[in-house]
Structures are given as structure tokens and as C-alpha cells.
Amino acid sequence: MRYALIIAGGSGTRLWPMSTRQLPKQLIPFIEGKSLLQVAMQRLKGLVPNEQIYICAGESQRQAMLDGLPGLTDDRFIGEPCGRDTLNAVGVGAAVLGRNDENAIVAVFTADHIIQPEAQFRKVVEEGYRVAEEQPHTLVTFGIGPTHPATGYGYLKLGEKLEQHNAFVVDEFKEKPDLGTATTYHKAGPEKYLWNSGMFVWRSSALMDCIRRFCPDNYLGISEVADAWDSDLRNETLARIYPTLDKVSVDYAVMEPASRDHRAKVVAVPMPLSWLDVGSWPSFAETLKKDATGNTATGCKTLLLNSHNTLAASSDPNHLITAIGCDDLVIIHTPTTTLVCKADQAEKIKDLHKQVGEGLGEEWL
């Protein structure tokens, strides 16, 4: 049976101060009045029945996500007691689904992407499901054509094409290369290298076999959690085991070694779509309509004079943001905090977030 698992546990610190512990970025209704999580759920409509869509996120966000997604039921929310990166999130999800369905085919999606057009997205994912169903030991990923030599994404080196599928064997999975290597990959073109999208499809049994071989300690812990899932020991087992699991991404822990292992196969399905990772304020600005001078705004009234390429955003629709002679800025207002930074410094908001917590107190986070 086909399932969908949305990983929604990111902290969203680069979208602070609007993204907070009480309202993480996945739940902020800043995409035409919808949250990123609502948009992610909407994209899956027609791919799998609603009752086969699961969400994995922090346990502390359970009620907020149930309230924000009326179609989500409590039994389809997999709550993490703490963040331990994507290997453990997808591992527990796959193990829990595989425990009750030995033929479970699990597609993993993120909650922070804008992908258009959605109809074409569903066709590409359908192809991924078919590959995973027909080839039991295959780990399927979806590849995006690189637009620049990014060092923050994984790269897929494409090999031979699969018969009867628009999919390619991945000869090498390289997570977050240095700039020189990324430049070489970009120059080779999308016929040879694609970005890893962070979305996957696999049989639960295929993923668990790879975790067992590549990360045996994580495998034992994940298996213990899954064994207790339908019992009264679930919460106690999660609280005891989950924080001890090695914190590592599925990309480093499974995808890279699997691409070099003859007992597994990594396959990439190209996803030639408009794909935007909404992980920072400049990338969020790309989702908004620009005025004649490149300025963008949302959630507030603005008056930006002699300003160019500046983002202004507020959580208060009655708030007014004004600026004169400001170029390439990010201006974010919330009831408690105002952030102003140069757009090219936006990646450092994560560091600022840490310093605010350490120096001023976590109540500001």
C-alpha cells in the first residue's frame, strides 16, 4: 500500500522572528493565506487517500498541527520528543508503517517547498511510486535541475536510464559539496547532475535494511520504538530511546553509502518543475509579487520610497512599515521583535537566533 510521510520538524530559525517555537515556519499562513504545511498537504491530493498521509514533527506541535490541518487525525501524527535529524524521523515513520503493512511503500515529502505546477508534480511522484513498487531494493529520490553551484544541496550523478521509466540510476550521491565541486557539477549540466530535492520513495523494508547495515545503533533504537508503537509503552519508549539516537541526516547516513553499495540501488526521477525551498527570507520573497523596483511585502501596509529589492513583512495586517533609500534589505515585524538585515546576510539569522536565546533569554525565540 502507498503512504505519504511529510517531515515537518524543522525549527525554521532562518525565518525568525516570525517563525517561533510556538508557531514554526510550517504553520505560518504566509503563502496566500495558507501555511507551508497546508500547501504540502494540498499537493498530495489524488496521490494517496487522505487517511494514508502521515506527518512527523515535534510532539510539542501536535495540537497546533491538528488544529491547522482539519483533515489530519491524531493517529497519523508521529510526534518526536526532540529533533534528531531526518534519518530518525523517516526511519521511525517507515518502521511504524511497515510494522502494520509489510508491503508499505512510503513517499517522504518536506513541508517547506513551493512546487509548481502541482499536477505535473503528482505525475512525477507517481513515477517514483511505480519504480519503488517494481524494484523492491531501490531507494528513489527526485532530482531538480541546478540553477547555480549551490553548496547547501546534495547532488545526484546520473548513470544509466531505467527501462520503461523516466528514471536514472544514481552513480554517486554527494551531499553538500564544496564550491569548486559544485561548480564542476553545475557546468556538467542537468543531464549529468541534479540537485537532491529531499523527497524520496522507498519500501519500508528497503529503507530499514539500509539503516540496519549503515547505522546499526539507530536501527536498534528505531526498531524498539516501532515495536512499542501500538502499546501503552509508546511514550515511555520514545522518551527513553529517541534522544539517544545518533543525530544525522538520511542523506549522509543512507543515501550516500547506498549509492556505493551493490546490495542497494539509488534511482533519481527528474522533477523539471518550479521548485523553491522556502528556508530563508530571501527565498520567501521569491514567492511574492515584486513591484516595479523589486520590492516585496506581505501581511502589512508598506510605503517604501527610493528603495529597491527590499522585503517588508509583518504578522499584523494593521501595521505600517516605511523605508526611505533602503536597498536589498529584509524588514520583519512581529508583536515582540523587529528584524532588519541586508538580504545577503540573511543566512546569519540562524546565528543571531542562537545569540538572542543565549544573551537575552529564550522567551524571545
* Strand duo 193-203 + 311-314: pairing: unpaired
Residue 62 pLDDT:
93
| Same domain membership, residue 56 and residue 121 | yes
Considering the domain architecture, whether residues 135 and 220 belong to the same structural domain is answered as: yes
Residues 174 and 291 grouped into a single domain:
no
Rounded CA separation 106/175 (Å) = 22
247 or 12: which carries more pLDDT confidence?
247
Q: How high is the mean pLDDT of the chain?
A: 94
Whether the CA torsion 318, 62, 79, 118 is positive or negative: it is negative
Confidence of residue 22 (pLDDT cuts 50, 70, 90): confident
Which range of residues forms the domain containing residue 344? 281-364
Q: What is the CATH number of the domain that holds 172?
A: 3.90.550.10
Q: How far apart are CA 158 and CA 189, in angstroms?
A: 11
Q: For residue 11, is pLDDT > 80?
A: no
Q: Are 90 and 207 in contact (CB under 8 A)?
A: yes
Tracing cell 546499526 back to the chain, one arrives at: 216
Task: Quote the pLDDT of residue 173.
Answer: 87
- The percent of residues above 90 in pLDDT, for the chain, comes to 86
Residues 203-220 have a mean pLDDT of 98
Distance between CA 272 and CA 142 in Å, rounded?
Answer: 10
143-167 per-position pLDDT tens digit: 999 989 988 888 999 999 999 999 9
Same domain, 269 and 355: no
Do 231 and 299 sit in the same domain of this protein? Answer: no
DSSP symbol at 47: T
Considering only CA atoms, which of 133, 125, 181 is closest in space to residue 157? 181
Residues 156 and 98 in one domain: yes
Q: Same domain for 39 and 141?
A: yes
- Do 190 and 131 share a structural domain? yes
Provide the whole-model pTM.
Answer: 0.91
Does one domain contain both 74 and 174?
A: yes
Does 285 lie in the same domain as 272? no
pLDDT at 281: 95
58 pairs with which residues across the strands?
A: 80
**Domain end point (choices 277, 296, 329):** 277
Quote the CA–CA distance of 44 and 119 in Å, as a whole number. Answer: 10
Q: Say how many domains are in the chain.
A: 2
Of the residues 232, 260, 277, the one at which a domain ends: 277
Q: Within this chain, do residues 126 and 212 fall inside the same structural domain, yes or no? A: yes
Is residue 240's pLDDT more than 80?
yes
Residue 226 confidence class, pLDDT cut points 50, 70, 90: very high
Using 50, 70 and 90 to split pLDDT, how confident is the model at 355? Answer: very high
